[in-house]
Amino acid sequence: MNYDKELEQIDLQGNIPADETRRQYYFIKKCRSLLEKKENELGRKLTASAVTFGCQMNARDSEKLIGILEKVGYSIVEGEDADFVIYNTCTVRENANLRVYGRLGVLNNKKKKNPHMMIALCGCMMQEPEVVEKIKKSYRFVNLIFGTHNIYKFAELLAAAMESDRMVIDIWKDTDKIVENLPVERKYPFKSGVNIMFGCNNFCSYCIVPYVRGRERSRTPVEIIREIERLVDDGVVEVMLLGQNVNSYGKNLEDPISFAQLLREVEKIEGLKRIRFMTSHPKDLSDELIEVMAGSEKICRHMHLPLQSGSSRILKIMNRRYTKEQYLELVEKLRRAIPDISLTTDIIVGFPGETEEDFQETLDVVRKAHYDSAFTFIYSKRTGTPAASMDNQVPEDVVKDRFDRLLKEVQDISKEMAGRLTGQVQPVLVEEVNSQDNTLMTGRLSNNLLVHFPGDASLIGKIVNVRLSQCKGFYYIGEIKDSEV
Ligand code: 5AD
Ligand code: SF4
């Protein structure tokens, strides 16, 4: 879709188009005229920025927000010194919320110095009614609030906020709509996230995501393939297929298709060099997927497979629908089929009722699964989830002690695992100039580890062969072997 051509065809004097995509282009054009008026009054360009909290899904959503802000005519900047700042929030753990409140205080001071500043909030945290109440009461300077289900309406809501001196709020409880073909501005020219599904149906008992992201909805394979083909035409060589539970992709489509079948189709796209995906749920990971991965040239040697707990008893109360033994069996199957696979995970400590024995089971899985890395989280009580009302919450000091022991175990194993490839020559996607030393470039291995090596910016976006000379714990130092792969 040619965004500019689409915009050109919109007539602001005419009727608002009925088709949702065109409707949003109408509002982009309307915002553009409102912004131009304001810029003429002030005699300067106005700037905008999107600040992302949380996961890869939010990062991708922010690219959509930026895409629209750019088309509206704002100069896009990073950070919070801008005339329009939008926070794309996360609420998976309580501390994510606290960070947003803290930073809103800072934004308020900036707004006092720049009365033209507009502040918007969106994302998962806004789907919680208590949060919106609190913002309405204590953060009156916010101009616009919307949620996860109506993010496609951003242009329309922005137009409303630009014309109003009151707080504009639009939060939906759910949606079954997926609006395609809105503008997107990628952070990296050579790689991109691609949503394949939205929402989650699993209701793990600790997790707020199904409540704030709604029920599972898959995009059609046709739309996904079309988007990736366009991305490839535009210089993308690596895609990350995104969903809360990619393993259940396609089950609810009119013409059902499995995730493994989708991967087979994506693999065929000429010019695409690497495929990643996130996140897999162990209960839905099929043999077919393992087979497709093992035989693929393009799917990266990395699987993020959240464990959450190693205790079958806790897993049951978490509503994860697998046991410790089933999980370990899956790990073994993966390692057997794809020996060089890197395995990463998420683990929660301190789930209500977790005993020392349960925790020992988690340590046991960590030792047996040999994770390349693991994200470890302290259980956070999320209002509205079943676990929040369980009365056997674990005392803070016990949780902290378990967390420290788990972290040590995970880190020791990660160090051991990271060195596995030392001395090998591996293909690397060059991502950026090293932030500490500009004579070095930073690239990513298929298994998701980073390598730093001498080179220059002309290599960015290329896949080159790099000798992994030295492992430095969680990354490698290397040298280029040859620069065309
Ligand atoms: N407390 C702590 N961690 C949580 N996660 C999800 N909900 C919670 C919670 N209430 C973690 C899980 C998930 C990751 C994205 O966040 O480990 O896999
Ligand atoms: Fe949350 Fe479980 Fe869904 Fe993941 S699968 S988003 S942990 S409910």
Residue-wise pLDDT for 57-93, tens only, equals 999 999 999 999 999 999 999 999 999 999 999 999 9
Residue nearest to atom 17 of ligand 1 (CA): 346
In the structure, what pLDDT confidence band is assigned to residue 4 with cuts at 50, 70 and 90?
confident
In the reported structure, the alpha carbon of residue 279 is separated from the centroid of ligand 1 by a whole-number distance in angstroms of 13
Residue nearest to atom 12 of ligand 1 (CA): 346
**pLDDT, tens only, 384-401:** 999 999 999 999 999 999
In the structure, what pLDDT confidence band is assigned to residue 484 with cuts at 50, 70 and 90?
low
Nearest atom, ligand 2, residue 279 CA: 4
**Which numbered ligand comes closest to the C-alpha of 347?**
1
Mean pLDDT over each residue of the chain, to the nearest integer = 96
**Which numbered ligand comes closest to the C-alpha of 210?**
2
Higher pLDDT, 312 or 485: 312
**pLDDT, tens only, 26-55:** 999 999 999 999 999 999 999 999 999 999
Nearest atom, ligand 1, residue 207 CA: 7
Q: What is the mean pLDDT of residues 260-280?
A: 98
Give the pLDDT score at 317: 98
Amino acid at position 123, single letter: G
Nearest atom, ligand 1, residue 306 CA: 18
The set of protein residues with a Cβ atom below 6 angstroms from ligand 1 is 92-93, 206-207, 306, 308, 346, 348, 377, 379-380, 382
Q: Is the pTM of this model over 0.85?
A: yes
- Helix or strand or coil: residue 127? helix
**Which numbered ligand comes closest to the C-alpha of 202?**
2
**Which numbered ligand comes closest to the C-alpha of 319?**
2
In the structure, what pLDDT confidence band is assigned to residue 473 with cuts at 50, 70 and 90?
confident
Give the pLDDT score at 485: 58
The set of protein residues with a Cβ atom below 6 angstroms from ligand 2 is 200, 202-204, 207, 209-210, 244-245, 281
Give the pLDDT score at 89: 98
Give the pLDDT score at 1: 66
Q: Which of 231, 131, 138 is nearest to 185 (CA)?
A: 231
* Long-range contact pairs involving 77-81 (C-beta distance under 8 Å, separation at least 24): 77/47, 77/48, 77/49, 78/49, 79/49, 79/51, 80/49, 80/51, 80/106, 80/107, 80/110, 81/47, 81/49, 81/110
**pLDDT, tens only, 345-390:** 999 999 999 999 999 999 999 999 999 999 999 999 999 999 999 9
In the reported structure, the alpha carbon of residue 348 is separated from the centroid of ligand 1 by a whole-number distance in angstroms of 7
Query: Is the peptide bond between 279 and the residue preceding it cis, with omega within 30 degrees of 0?
Result: yes
Can you read off the two tokens belonging to residue 76? 């896009």
Give the pLDDT score at 483: 59
Say if residue 159's pLDDT is above 90: yes
Q: What is the mean pLDDT of residues 433-444?
A: 96
What is the CA 355 to chain-centroid distance, rounded?
Answer: 32
Substitution candidate for ligand 2 out of 57, 148, 245 with most atoms within 8 A of CB:
245
